Every structure is written in structure tokens, then in C-alpha cells.
């Protein structure tokens, strides 16, 4: 359920590269490249040639290949990734699986889809059930990579850029080798081939060659998202793949879909600086969710990208790390690290008070992690069960004094918020609205402790909170005269808080989705909401003045 729906109810990385900023973001492909000696310990990397301001677009590029996830195929155009226009999407009459806005979008995608269409029909004919009649997105994406290689020939820049992406084939763990092998067989079948030897026309001369390609795809592919970071599919962009990982990134990869430049060919990925970057400084993005504790980040990076992170955050984790910390048992305002079986006694860094109930905390953390895994697996199949898990578990962690930013409490809170939105009652109630606002506020509090200003997840969380506060109240409370603070507030105070929150959100969106883009699609939407709220507040104030004036006279 969208915020608009809620309101409507109420109203009715082997060479380094150097990049420099330019007056206009480049859409021609990768940034300018020089090739100094390779640094084995760093691999691929990009460095700033000039000073880059936060909120600035470092470079823009349309991915070499991209595909929608299966569940999104009938809802979005497979060429420009736009939602259905007023006239609806047009389905390919042959494969009946791919949809387009119009004939122009179909024509733009035809170079890939003319091969893909035949492959999808062949796959569907051999599928054992309708559930697997459409191949998974890695298979479809790799198919497009191989058809691109075949069309553009082996010496083309397009193919050389794909081949230059880093592969970990020679150091893959056994489980990864097995999964890559299964994927290789699926891709070969999808292309209508019978053996790896038949891949020679695609520039693949051995079984090792196809595993190499799959390893490059697994290591370098990125998630194709909406302007609000909702996953849509997968894409391959060699220029973005040049950028190394840090758990404290100075840049982000987003798809802002700005309305300011109608000539932009979507989907356009942009690398945006989220803090000022000095000349000669390396540009980093994060490959993973950096709200996770260090050990979990290292596990994910090792399993997926085959390296141990040595970034500044992993090398000098704060003490205590807000991702793994409890509030002081004496409420002095300090915090203490999570206890562990090996180190059961931890002390507040401010007043040195020790935790008195280590077993209670450890049990709460185990329960929280288990509930998070179960609720995540149920969030689409059984919303009510998932919501029950988050509702029951969050108080256990808060009673153990887990900080709002700690894991798994922050992850549970964010999931709880999305489940509350998905489970909104047909007739919006004040209690349901206030519940999701409180969950949204808790998410913002946690994210602000672990993510820097301008991080997209933090900026979007602020925008969500502001939008929820702006929803018309079903049953506004009377003004509070008891002297105690009630959250969320009601009436004019609520509108003022909504306006202030959205203003802060837009400031951060202008960083995370680019100042030149106006904060992207979400930033433009928030700006319009701020203008409307300011008008409502002005009308509200004028009404109060009129009442006072009438009463006095």
C-alpha cells in the first residue's frame, strides 16, 4: 500500500580509473580511464581526479544489460523500466512474457529480445510447470550478455568491458563452484545449445570460460531498483563494477529517475557522492547492508564477493558499535557493547556500569535473530504471522535495552513498519496510523545512528516518516494539556512536524539522489508535499486568527 493510497482513503573491481567532475553528468558510458600499474591488493578501483562535492553526480551510465525480476515483468516496461502508462502495457505476442510501453520501447529492446523471445518460448515449452515457465533473472541476464557478445563481436569495447570485470573462478569455494555449474547448464539450455563447445560463436571457448563469465556476473552484477530502492531486477554495468567496496562509502549507486532531463534513456544508473571527495581519494560504494554488525558483513562479503573487508569501519569499529550495543543499565546516556559467551561482562563506556543480566540479553538476541529470519521468510506469504513475530519480539529486545540502531532490533523495526503498511485495515483507524508512524520514527532513529547524512536508506526513511505524518487523521486527538509529550502529536503540531521532517528528508535526498536531479523522483515528490503542507498550515493559522478575532469583537 502506498502513502497515496492511505491519503486517498481518508479523502475518499585489474586497472584503476580516474574520474573528474564535469558541468553535466556523462551518459556515454564509463568515466575517463587511465591505466597505471595494477595494485594486486586493491584490484579494480576508481579515484577522483578533481574535488567532488557531496550530492554531485560522479558519472551516469545505462547498464550494458538488465532484466526485470519475474514478478515485475507484467507490471513494468522491459525497455525503459517504467510503470504501465495510462493506456496499459503491450505484451509481446510471441513469448507472451515481456511487456512494453509502446512500439518505440519494443523497438529499442528488439536487438536483445529477438533472440530472447525464441529462447523464452523454448524454455516455456520444456518447463515442468507454469511456475517455472519463465527462467530466473540470472539466466535471462546472462543470455543477454552472451547475445551482446555475439552481436558486437569480441574486439568491441562493449565485450572487452564485460571481459575485464573481475572473476573469482580460481578461488571459488566448493559450494559456489556447484551453483555456478548449475547456472552454466541452465544458460546453455536457455540458449538452445547442448554442450559448452557450442558457445564458441559467443566468444566462450571452454567450460572454464562459461564459469568465468558466470563468476564475473555473480561478483559484479548490481540490483536494478526504483527511485525508492525497491528491487526490480538485475543489471550489469562494467563502469560501476570498477568501484571497490567500503562499509563507510563515500558514494552510492542509485536510479533516481529525475524528471528534469526528458532525454535521459532509462534505466540510468548514477554514482552520486554522499560526502565531499578530495582529489586522489578513492571512490567507494557499499555492496551490502551496512547496518549489519561487522561479523555479519564480513560473512556476506566473503560468501558473495570472496574477500575480507579491511575498510575503515571494519578496521576500527567504534566502541561500542551502535549496531551491537545496549543502553546503559543506569540510564546515564552511555552505551555498552553486547555481551557474548566469551565476554559476558561488558561495561558502559560512560559510567562503567556492568550489565547485570547477561543471560537475559543473550537470550533476547537469539530470539530476535530467529524471529527476524522467520518473519523475513513469511513477509510475502503470511503477513499476519510475520507481523505477529515482529510485534512480539521487538518488546523483548527493547526491554533488554538494545539500542534502536542495534541488530537485529533495527532490522525487525524496519520490517515491522513495512508489514504494518501492508496490513493496513480497509477503513483506516487512528490507532493503525499512529502505530506505523511510531515504527517509522524508530526506524529513522536507528538509521541515523549508523548511516551518514545523505545515505539513500536514511533519506528515504525520513521521507516515509514525513509522508505518514502528513496523512489526514481519522480521529484527531484533543490538544494535550497534561504537560506530557505524546507521539505522534495531533492537529497542527502534527502537520508542522510532517513539514519539518519532509524538509529534512529533501535536504538528504538532494545528497543521495543528486542535487542536479532535484533529489530524483522522490525528492521532487517531497518538494511538492512540502509546498502543500505549508499552504495547509497557513490556512490553519489563518482560521485560528479569524476565530480569535471573532471572539474578541
| pLDDT of 4 above 70 | no
* Predicted pLDDT of residue 261: 61
Max Cα-Cα span within the chain: 94
Pick the CATH number of 13-63+237-303 from 2.170.270.10, 3.30.750.24, 3.20.20.70, 2.130.10.10: 2.170.270.10
Kindly give the pairing relationship between strand 284-285 and strand 244-245. Answer: parallel
- Taking the C-alpha atoms of residue 227 and residue 268, their distance in angstroms, rounded to an integer, is 11
Indicate the pLDDT class of residue 19, thresholds 50, 70 and 90.
Answer: low
**Average pLDDT, rounded, for the chain:** 87
* Predicted pLDDT of residue 341: 83
Closest listed residue to residue 227, CA positions, set 529, 436, 4, 524: 524
| pLDDT of 547 above 70 | no
The winner for highest mean pLDDT among 330-344, 382-396, 532-546 is: 382-396
* Predicted pLDDT of residue 254: 97
Indicate the pLDDT class of residue 483, thresholds 50, 70 and 90.
Answer: low
* Predicted pLDDT of residue 390: 98
Cα dihedral 206/66/105/108 (nearest 10): -40
Lowest mean pLDDT among 154-163, 212-221, 350-359: 350-359
Indicate the pLDDT class of residue 107, thresholds 50, 70 and 90.
Answer: very high
Cell numbers representing residue 550 in the block: 471573532
Indicate the pLDDT class of residue 7, thresholds 50, 70 and 90.
Answer: very low
Taking the CB of residue 447, how many other CB atoms lie within 10 A of it? 22
Lowest mean pLDDT among 26-30, 152-156, 456-460: 26-30
Label residue 70 left, alpha or beta by phi (over 0 means left) and psi (-120 to 50 means alpha). Answer: alpha
- Taking the C-alpha atoms of residue 383 and residue 390, their distance in angstroms, rounded to an integer, is 11
Cell numbers representing residue 291 in the block: 547496518
Indicate the pLDDT class of residue 549, thresholds 50, 70 and 90.
Answer: very low
- Taking the C-alpha atoms of residue 352 and residue 337, their distance in angstroms, rounded to an integer, is 12
Q: Is 111 exposed, middle or buried (0-12, 13-18, 19+ CB in 10 A)?
A: middle
- Taking the C-alpha atoms of residue 238 and residue 163, their distance in angstroms, rounded to an integer, is 9
Instruction: Quote the percentage of the chain above a pLDDT of 90.
Output: 67
Q: What is the residue whose three cell numbers read 554442450?
A: 195
* Predicted pLDDT of residue 38: 42
Instruction: Quote the percentage of the chain above a pLDDT of 70.
Output: 87
Indicate the pLDDT class of residue 30, thresholds 50, 70 and 90.
Answer: very low
| pLDDT of 26 above 90 | no
Q: Are 116 and 144 in contact (CB under 8 A)?
A: yes
- Any idea where the domains of the chain sit in the sequence? 13-63+237-303, 321-427, 451-477+484-553
* Predicted pLDDT of residue 470: 95
CA distances (Å), origin 88, targets 75, 84, 309: 9, 5, 46
Cell numbers representing residue 196 in the block: 559448452
Q: If DSSP codes are grouped into helix, strand and coil, which group holds residue 544?
A: helix
* Predicted pLDDT of residue 197: 84
| pLDDT of 232 above 80 | yes
Taking the CB of residue 127, how many other CB atoms lie within 10 A of it? 13
Kindly give the pairing relationship between strand 269-273 and strand 251-254. Answer: antiparallel
pLDDT in tens, 390-437: 999 999 999 999 999 999 999 999 999 999 999 988 888 999 999 999
| pLDDT of 224 above 70 | yes
Give the long-range contacts of residues 537-546, CB within 8 A, separation 24 or more. Answer: 537/492, 537/495, 537/496, 537/499, 540/492, 540/495, 541/492
* Predicted pLDDT of residue 42: 56
pLDDT in tens, 184-198: 999 999 999 988 789
pLDDT in tens, 112-131: 999 999 999 999 998 888 88
Pick the more confident residue, 519 or 424. Answer: 519
Lowest mean pLDDT among 10-14, 104-108, 243-247: 10-14
pLDDT in tens, 277-314: 999 999 999 999 999 999 999 999 998 888 899 999 99
DSSP letter string, 229-279: --EEEEEE-HHHHTSEE-SS-SEEEE----SS-TT--SS-EEEEESS-B-T
Amino acid at each position: 500500500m502506498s502513502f497515496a493510497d492511505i491519503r486517498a482513503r481518508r479523502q475518499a573491481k585489474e586497472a584503476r580509473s580516474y574520474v573528474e567532475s564535469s558541468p553535466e553528468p556523462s551518459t556515454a558510458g564509463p568515466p575517463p580511464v587511465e591505466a597505471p600499474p595494477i595494485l594486486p591488493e586493491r584490484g579494480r578501483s576508481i579515484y577522483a581526479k578533481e574535488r567532488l562535492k557531496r550530492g554531485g553526480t560522479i558519472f551516469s551510465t545505462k547498464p550494458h544489460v538488465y532484466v526485470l525480476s519475474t514478478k515485475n515483468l507484467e507490471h513494468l516496461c522491459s525497455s525503459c523500466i517504467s510503470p504501465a502508462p495510462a493506456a496499459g502495457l503491450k505484451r509481446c505476442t510471441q513469448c507472451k512474457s515481456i511487456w512494453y510501453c509502446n512500439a518505440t520501447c519494443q523497438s529499442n529492446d528488439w536487438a536483445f529480445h529477438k533472440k530472447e523471445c525464441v529462447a523464452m518460448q523454448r524454455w516455456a515449452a520444456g518447463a515442468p510447470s507454469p511456475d517455472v515457465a519463465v527462467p530466473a533473472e540470472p539466466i535471462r541476464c546472462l543470455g543477454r550478455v552472451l547475445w551482446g557478445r555475439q552481436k558486437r563481436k569480441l574486439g568491441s569495447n562493449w565485450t572487452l568491458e564485460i571481459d575485464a570485470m573481475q572473476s573469482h573462478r580460481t578461488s571459488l569455494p566448493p559450494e559456489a563452484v556447484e551453483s555456478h555449474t548449475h547456472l552454466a547448464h541452465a544458460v546453455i539450455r536457455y540458449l538452445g545449445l547442448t554442450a559448452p563447445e557450442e558457445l564458441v560463436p559467443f566468444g566462450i571457448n571452454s567450460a572454464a570460460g562459461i564459469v568465468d563469465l558466470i563468476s564475473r556476473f555473480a561478483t559484479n552484477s548490481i540490483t536494478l531498483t526504483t527511485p525508492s530502492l525497491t528491487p526490480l531486477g538485475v543489471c550489469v554495468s562494467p563502469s560501476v563494477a570498477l568501484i571497490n567496496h567500503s562499509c563507510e562509502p563515500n558514494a552510492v549507486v542509485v536510479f533516481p529517475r529525475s524528471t528534469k532531463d526528458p532525454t535521459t534513456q532509462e534505466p540510468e544508473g548514477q554514482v552520486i557522492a554522499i560526502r565531499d571527495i578530495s582529489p586522489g581519494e578513492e571512490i567507494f560504494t557499499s555492496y551490502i547492508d551496512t547496518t549489519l554488525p561487522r561479523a555479519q558483513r564480513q560473512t556476506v562479503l566473503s560468501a558473495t564477493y570472496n574477500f575480507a573487508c579491511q575498510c575503515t569501519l571494519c578496521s576500527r569499529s567504534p566502541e561500542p558499535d551502535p549496531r551491537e550495543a545496549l543502553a546503559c543499565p543506569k540510564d546515564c546516556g552511555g552505551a555498552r557493547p553486547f555481551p557474548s559467551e566469551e565476554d559476558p561482562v561488558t561495561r558502559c563506556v560512560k559510567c562503567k556500569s556492568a550489565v547485570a543480566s547477561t543471560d537475559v540479553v543473550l537470550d533476547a538476541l537469539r530470539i530476535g535473530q530467529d524471529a527476524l529470519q522467520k518473519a523475513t521468510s513469511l513477509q510475502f506469504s503470511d503477513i499476519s504471522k510475520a507481523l505477529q513475530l515482529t510485534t512480539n519480539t521487538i518488546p523483548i529486545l527493547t526491554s533488554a535495552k538494545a539500542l534502536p540502531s542495534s541488530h537485529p532490533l533495527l532490522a525487525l523495526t524496519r520490517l515491522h513498519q513495512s508489514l504494518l503498511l501492508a496490513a493496513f485495515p480497509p477503513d483506516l483507524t487512528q490507532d493503525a496510523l499512529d502505530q506505523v508512524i511510531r515504527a517509522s520514527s524508530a526506524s529513522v532513529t536507528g538509521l541515523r545512528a549508523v548511516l551518514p547524512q545523505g545515505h539513500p536508506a536514511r533519506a528515504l526513511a525520513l521521507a516515509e516518516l514525513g509522508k505518514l505524518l502528513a496523512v489526514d487523521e481519522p480521529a484527531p486527538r484533543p490538544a494535550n494539556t497534561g504537560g506530557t509529550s505524546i507521539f505522534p502529536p495531533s492537529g497542527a503540531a502534527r502537520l508542522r512536524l510532517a513539514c519539518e521532517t519532509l524538509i529534512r528528508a529533501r535536504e538528504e535526498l538532494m545528497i543521495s539522489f543528486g542535487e542536479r536531479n532535484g533529489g530524483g523522483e522522490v525528492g521532487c515528490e517531497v518538494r511538492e508535499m512540502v509546498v502543500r503542507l505549508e499552504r495547509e498550515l497557513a490556512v490553519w493559522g489563518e482560521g485560528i486568527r479569524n476565530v480569535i478575532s471573532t471572539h474578541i469583537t
